């Protein structure tokens, strides 16, 4: 499917067909596509727990306000933003930049200082925002790529983060920006038309912010 068509036709699907699994390798393929998302300095501060086992989905549903789609979708991804992504991935990123000629070896120290300086202390709000914004882009790319291959999705932030962390062994310092369910629309379900979208002139201004 064309990208523009995938963007236009993507919807948050409430009812998944529990009898229709994802094709083999589809999840891996979509995760690989999402992994091409842009990120600050290429630091990729995301992690994913893919929940596909029926019992694990039941547990996840319990942590996610009992949302039926969590159990019905063949896969639900716990998107995890990692504030430690800076330290974890910085050296490999700089190595790659150096190898590919993005920077000269003598620039390496300046770049690592810039990254560490820009994103602040590990537990700072800046650092948490860094992790969440990049992981949200990963999630969006996943949803568009899914639609492009005929797979429907549903993002969710209706969940108890502490419950998910406890049940899925996610360390306390991580953040869960959203869950994303993936699968196929339940047969016989008709989607309502897309709801209200604001007109651009309500929220877009040029050159300077307009109240």
Ligand X SMILES: Cc1cc2nc3c(=O)[nH]c(=O)nc-3n(C[C@H](O)[C@H](O)[C@H](O)COP(=O)(O)O)c2cc1C
Residues binding ligand X (CB under 6 A):
11-12, 67, 155-158, 178, 194-195
CA-CA distance, 46 to 64, in Å (whole number)? Answer: 20
CA-CA distance, 132 to 80, in Å (whole number)? Answer: 8
- At its nearest, how many Å lie between ligand X and the CB of residue 187? 19
- At its nearest, how many Å lie between ligand X and the CB of residue 104? 40
Strand pairing of 46-51 and 75-81?
antiparallel
CA-CA distance, 47 to 56, in Å (whole number)? Answer: 18
> In terms of CB distance, is 12 or 129 closer to ligand X?
12
User: Residue 105 gets which letter from DSSP?
Assistant: G
> In terms of CB distance, is 117 or 193 closer to ligand X?
193
- At its nearest, how many Å lie between ligand X and the CB of residue 153? 9
> In terms of CB distance, is 41 or 46 closer to ligand X?
46
**Which residues are paired to 51 by β-bridges?**
76
> In terms of CB distance, is 67 or 141 closer to ligand X?
67
> In terms of CB distance, is 59 or 112 closer to ligand X?
59
- At its nearest, how many Å lie between ligand X and the CB of residue 91? 31
> In terms of CB distance, is 100 or 192 closer to ligand X?
192
CA-CA distance, 80 to 87, in Å (whole number)? Answer: 16
Here the tokens at position 168 are: 């899925």
Here the tokens at position 75 are: 């896969």
- At its nearest, how many Å lie between ligand X and the CB of residue 103? 35
- At its nearest, how many Å lie between ligand X and the CB of residue 96? 31
Closest CA to 57 of 35, 44, 79, 74: 74
| Entry field: residues in the chain | 211
Q: How many CA atoms lie within 13 A of 85 on its CB side?
A: 26
């Amino acid at each position: 499917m064309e990208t523009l068509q995938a963007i236009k036709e993507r919807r948050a699907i409430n009812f998944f067909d529990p009898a229709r699994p994802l094709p083999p390798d589809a999840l891996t393929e979509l995760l690989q596509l999402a992994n091409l998302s842009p990120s600050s300095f290429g630091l990729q501060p995301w992690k994913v727990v893919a929940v596909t086992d029926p019992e694990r989905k039941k547990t996840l549903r319990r942590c996610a306000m009992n949302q039926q789609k969590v159990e019905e979708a063949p896969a639900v991804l716990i998107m995890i933003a990692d504030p430690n992504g800076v330290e974890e991935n910085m050296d490999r990123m700089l190595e790659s930049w150096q190898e590919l000629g993005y920077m000269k070896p003598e620039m390496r120290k300046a770049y690592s200082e810039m990254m560490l300086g820009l994103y602040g202390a590990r537990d700072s709000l800046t650092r948490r925002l860094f992790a969440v914004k990049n992981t949200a882009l990963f999630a969006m790319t996943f949803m568009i790529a899914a639609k492009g291959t005929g797979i429907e999705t549903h993002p969710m932030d209706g969940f108890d983060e502490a419950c998910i962390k406890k049940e899925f062994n996610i360390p306390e310092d991580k953040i869960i920006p959203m869950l994303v369910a993936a699968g196929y629309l339940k047969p016989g379900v008709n989607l309502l038309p897309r709801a209200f979208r604001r007109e651009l002139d309500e929220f877009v201004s040029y050159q300077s912010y307009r109240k």
